[in-house]
């Protein structure tokens, strides 16, 4: 019987070890000195520079709307709002050479430029080649939505598009149904495209200092991968109740085995 008790104790310890601690499920916890964590320094994010396959929304306004009609994407049925589908067909896609094609201006290289730099370039070229100052043109350049992909231990995996200027990783995860209980919040991988190639970056979402990370805010076409915790591969319970069920099952199994061996 001593061996049976020892086996039960070992199995119980293993079952409780398999539980997911609550500290692994809480986002943005304070670490170190609590006073120093009260104020988080703002992230000094650099302006986004346009890359290949980005879709730009370029809209022009003037005193006479007919003058700029050819530059603007077609109106949609959703209250005149641009959608991801309308931008795909009517927006300005950056080709493999970093160019977009615009009426009158023709090929325009935008690779590596910020949205403000592109706006200024278009405005200057139009004033020099097509309009005069009396037309009072107004140029607005934006990304055609911030597109990203989430996969792994997430409630709703897949590719999403948010029509916002800035999206942080917490917003992206919330928009995808949150990380599952077996997802590793301490090692979230951001796969990001750069002109020189692809890089992988790991961030810890349980640490409040992640808000100071240069990878906290997403860039277009980012890929977010949520790794599973070891508890999932072990196949044991992830909560107290499920662990208790596992323990009861193990106890029943051991008891049955002992009874059969002693016959």
76-103: b or e for each residue (b if 16 or more CB lie within 10 Å)?
eeeeeebeeebbeebbbbbeeebbbebe
Per the structure, the count of domains in the chain is 2
Q: At what angle do helices 240-262 and 2-17 cross, to 10 degrees?
A: 160
- Residue at a domain's end among 143, 170, 185: 143
Whether 14 is covered by a domain: the verdict is no
Domain check: are 116 and 195 in the same one? Answer: no
Give me the pLDDT at residue 189, please.
96
Whether 35 is covered by a domain: the verdict is yes
3-state SS assignment for residue 249: helix
Give me the pLDDT at residue 77, please.
45
**Token pair for 119:** 């706006």
Whether 245 is covered by a domain: the verdict is no
Domain check: are 133 and 150 in the same one? Answer: no
- Residue at a domain's end among 143, 167, 185: 143
Give me the pLDDT at residue 71, please.
80
Give me the pLDDT at residue 136, please.
86
Contact 157, 151 (CB under 8 A): yes
Can you give the CATH number for the domain in which 154 is found? Answer: 3.10.560.10
Q: What span, in angstroms and rounded, lies between the C-alpha atoms of 99 and 180?
A: 41
Domain check: are 137 and 155 in the same one? Answer: no
Tens digits of pLDDT across the chain (263 residues): 555 555 555 555 555 555 667 777 788 887 665 444 555 555 556 788 998 889 999 999 988 888 888 887 655 444 555 667 777 777 899 999 999 999 888 999 999 999 999 999 999 999 888 888 788 899 999 998 899 999 999 999 999 999 888 899 999 999 999 999 889 999 999 999 887 889 999 999 999 999 989 999 999 999 999 999 887 655 555 555 555 566 666 666 666 776 666 76
Whether 5 is covered by a domain: the verdict is no
Give me the pLDDT at residue 117, please.
96
Q: Return the number of other C-beta atoms located less than 10 Å from residue 167's C-beta.
A: 22
Give me the pLDDT at residue 90, please.
79
Closest CA to 215 of 196, 193, 197: 193
Domain check: are 99 and 110 in the same one? Answer: yes
Q: What is the DSSP letter of 252?
A: H
Give me the pLDDT at residue 195, please.
78
Which residues span the domain enclosing 198? 25-42+146-228
Q: What span, in angstroms and rounded, lies between the C-alpha atoms of 257 and 203?
A: 46
């Amino acid at each position: 019987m001593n061996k049976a008790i020892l086996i039960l104790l070992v199995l119980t310890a293993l079952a409780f070890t398999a539980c997911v601690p609550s500290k692994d499920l809480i986002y943005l916890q304070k670490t170190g000195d609590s006073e120093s964590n009260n104020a988080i320094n703002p992230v000094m994010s650099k302006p986004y520079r346009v890359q290949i396959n980005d879709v730009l929304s370029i809209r022009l306004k003037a005193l006479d709307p007919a003058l700029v009609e050819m530059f603007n994407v077609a109106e949609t049925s959703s209250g005149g709002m641009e959608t991801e589908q309308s931008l795909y067909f009517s927006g300005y896609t950056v080709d493999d050479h970093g160019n977009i094609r615009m009426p009158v201006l023709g090929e325009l290289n935008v690779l590596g430029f910020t949205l403000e730099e592109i706006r200024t370039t278009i405005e200057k070229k139009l004033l020099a080649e097509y309009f005069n100052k009396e037309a009072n043109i107004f140029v607005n350049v934006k990304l055609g939505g911030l597109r990203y992909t989430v996969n792994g231990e997430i409630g709703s995996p897949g590719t999403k598009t948010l029509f916002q200027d800035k999206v942080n990783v917490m917003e992206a995860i919330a928009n995808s149904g949150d990380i599952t209980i077996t997802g590793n919040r301490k090692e979230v991988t951001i796969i990001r495209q750069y002109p020189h190639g692809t890089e992988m970056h790991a961030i810890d979402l349980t640490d409040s200092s992640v808000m100071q990370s240069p990878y906290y805010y997403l860039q277009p076409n980012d890929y977010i991968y949520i790794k599973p915790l070891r508890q999932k591969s072990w196949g044991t319970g992830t909560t107290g109740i499920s662990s208790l069920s596992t323990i009861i099952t193990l106890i029943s199994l051991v008891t049955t085995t002992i009874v059969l061996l002693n016959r």
